[in-house]
Amino acid sequence: MAEGAAAGEAPVIEVEGLWTQLGTQLIHKDVDLTVRRGEVMALVGGSGSGKTTLLRHIIGLTRPTRGVVKLFGQSLAGLDRDGQRRVRQRFGTLFQYGALFSALPVFDNIALPLRELRILDEDLIHELVMMKLNLVELEPVHAKKMPAQLSGGMIKRVGLARSLALEPELLVLDEPTAGLDPDRSESFVKLIKTLGRELGLTAIMVTHDLDTLFTLADRVAVLAEQRIIALGTVDEIAGVPHPFIRNFFQGERADRARKMAAAGAQH
């Protein structure tokens, strides 16, 4: 794979000099961000700090006002339709509310990206979908259910299975644990961690949840005041003297999350 050999060296995500302006409001002011192969990057920031907007720029749903976003060393904006599709097939996205196709049962939701390739036969697709379901720890009986019949945690799991359908190298997670109860949230985070390690995934996620952050993130980028004010491991970040970071990382909530993550790491 010629493109793979070249891209193997390049970071998975490169954001350079990104500006976003919506109307008169400046959201991002000269943002730079690099995600290396194999690491899990978390974007944190207050409400309205532009985390999700940045994520949408990265996966090519929207275009920044200025600046370059490169995925696997290629800029989506500069590619033709075929090239764009090839890049898009290399990452999978888990949306905040799952974004399952509500008209299709679980099975077809996961099979859809595989069918779109138009190279696999239906029998193999069936096997692969069943395997993905097993991967996200869902029973085969759920395959025939409609998304409306699923609980919040199951919707997330199906969404994860769908985002993994095309064997992506990069996983994009928008608030992976939003709307889940602490128990489900914990097991879902654990699942993502196991799968990420097993499949050798790179990941970028937006999250508010400290437990998720401490368990999953290798590095954290903090968005505030229209730029990235701090970038580093969770422990490095926690020491940065900025009012938002102090609020976010220090306090009872954070201590508890840190302790839990530490306890989890020992197992």
Partner 1 sequence: MPGASMRQEPGGGGRSILRLEGEWTLRRFDAGFEELATRLAAFGADSRIDWDLTGITALDSAGAMAVWRAWGKTRREGARVSPVHEPLFARIAAVPQHAAPWVPPDWLKPLVFIGALMMKLGENLLGIAALMGQLVLDFGYLARNPKDIPWREISANVHKAGTLALPVTAMVGFLIGVVLSYLSALQLKNFGADIYIIDILGVGIIREMAPVLVAVLIAGRSGSAMTAHIGVMRVTEEIDAMATMGIPASLRLVLPKVTALAIVTPFLVLWTMASALIGGMLSANYQLGLSMIFFMETLPTVVPIANLYIGFTKGLLFGVVVAVVACHYGLRIRPNTESLSAGTTGSVVTAISSVIMVDAVFAILTMDIGLDL
| Interface residue with partner 1, options 119, 183, 266, 267 (CB under 8 A) | 119
Long-range contact list for 16-19, CB < 8 A, 24+ apart?
16/67, 16/68, 16/69, 16/70, 17/66, 17/67, 17/68, 18/54, 18/57, 18/64, 18/66, 18/67, 18/68, 18/69, 19/64, 19/65, 19/66, 19/67
> Phi/psi of residue 254, each to 5°?
-70, -40
Rule CB under 8 A: is residue 260 a binding residue for partner 1? no
Binding segment toward partner 1, per CB under 8 A, in 11-19, 33-41, 143-151, 247-255: 143-151
DSSP annotation string for 169-204: SEEEEESTTTT--HHHHHHHHHHHHHHHHHHT-EEE
Nearer to partner 1, 77 or 103 (CB): 103
Calpha distance 4→73 (Å, rounded): 10
Using the contact rule CB under 8 A, the part of the chain among 27-35, 77-85, 112-120, 243-251 near partner 1 is: 112-120
Smallest distance from partner 1 to CB 102, Å: 4
Taking CB under 8 A as the rule, does residue 130 contact partner 1? yes
Count the residues of the shown chain that bind partner 1, applying the rule CB under 8 A: 29
Instruction: Answer whether 182's CB lies under 8 Å from 149's CB.
Output: no
Q: Which is nearer to partner 1, 2 or 265 (CB)?
A: 2
- 64 vs 147, which CB is nearer to partner 1? 147
Taking the alpha carbons at both ends of the chain, their separation in whole angstroms is 39
Complex with partner 1: residue 99 or 178, whichever CB lies closer: 99
Nearer to partner 1, 49 or 163 (CB): 163
Binder among 127, 181, 236, 255 for partner 1 (CB under 8 A):
127
- Written as one string, the DSSP assignment of 83-127 is HHHHHHTTEEEE-TT----TTS-HHHHHHHHHHHH--S-HHHHHH
Q: Which stretch binds partner 1 (CB under 8 A): 32-40, 75-83, 128-136, 224-232?
A: 128-136
265 binds partner 1 (CB under 8 A): no
- Residue number, 77 or 117, with CB nearest to partner 1: 117
At 4, is the secondary structure helix, strand, or coil? helix
Q: Is 116 in the site for partner 1 (CB under 8 A)?
A: no
Burial of 193-210, coded b for 16+ CB within 10 Å and e otherwise, reads bebbeeeebbbbbbbebb
Nearer to partner 1, 22 or 131 (CB): 131
Which residue type occupies 87? V
Subset of 148-207 contacting partner 1 (CB under 8 A): 148, 166-167, 198
Pick out residues in 13-72 that bind partner 1 (CB under 8 A): none
- Residues at the site binding partner 1, with contacts judged by CB under 8 A: 1-2, 4-5, 89-90, 101-103, 117, 119-121, 123-124, 127-128, 130-132, 134-135, 140, 146-148, 166-167, 198
